[in-house]
Amino acid sequence: MTKHLILILVALSLALMPLAASAQSLRIGIVDGMDIVSKSSEGKRVQDNIRKKGEDLGRPFAQKRQDLGRQVEDFQKQASVMKEDARRKKAEELEGKMREFERQAADADRQLAQFQEKELAPLLQKLEGAVKAVAQEEKLTLVLDKRNAGLLYMEPGLDVTEKVRAKFGR
């Protein structure tokens, strides 16, 4: 029994030695991609375009929201003196208007998300190229994004954000 245990331990240690050796050569870089993109001139231009598009899409909703709010308020004031049938009909009409308003708002949100994705795609592609270039220059095995990796701690020397920023451009 002891012989079998020793053989298993020796086999396991031989099998795990290459993993231990490769772990020593593992080089990791950390980059703050959103910081690079958002502070670049291209990123600022894209953010401005997205903000303007959001304002354009949202502008008609401000007036509609006010009108709908006023109609609901008027209905609430008049509901107590309305006949049951008229009150039910008006309530259904207002509910329909509210559903339509919410549908249009959701559609505008979807349009804005698609616009944002389209605008950011070239920047993210450029960022990916810059990260790849720095990773190859620095001989990094793995590069993690500081904000999206669930990173709780890192040695400051692992941060390659400024090198990637230089490749990306300001």
State the Cα angle at 48 between 45 and 52, rounded to 5°: 140
Sign of the alpha-carbon torsion through 62, 67, 72, 77: positive
Q: Quote the pLDDT of residue 19.
A: 46
Q: Which CATH architecture has domain 25-168?
A: 2-Layer Sandwich (3.30)
Q: Quote the pLDDT of residue 48.
A: 97
The span from the CA of 33 to the CA of 44, in Å, is 14
Q: Quote the pLDDT of residue 15.
A: 52
Q: Quote the pLDDT of residue 142.
A: 84
The span from the CA of 8 to the CA of 15, in Å, is 10
Q: Quote the pLDDT of residue 79.
A: 83
Going from N- to C-terminal start, the domains of the chain cover 25-168
pLDDT digit string, tens, across residues 32-89? 999 999 999 999 999 999 999 999 998 888 888 899 989 989 888 888 888 999 889 9
Q: Quote the pLDDT of residue 26.
A: 83
Q: Quote the pLDDT of residue 47.
A: 96
- pLDDT level of residue 20 (50, 70, 90 thresholds): very low
Residue with tokens 């990260």: 131
Q: What is the mean pLDDT of the chain?
A: 83
Q: Quote the pLDDT of residue 106.
A: 94
State the Cα angle at 79 between 77 and 84, rounded to 5°: 175
Higher pLDDT, 156 or 151: 156
Q: Is the pLDDT confidence value at 18 over 90?
A: no
Contact 145, 31 (CB under 8 A): yes
Which runs of E-coded beta strand occur in 63-147?
Answer: 142-145
Q: Quote the pLDDT of residue 151.
A: 62
Average pLDDT score over residue span 110-138: 92
Q: What is the maximum alpha-carbon separation in the chain?
A: 95
Q: Quote the pLDDT of residue 119.
A: 95
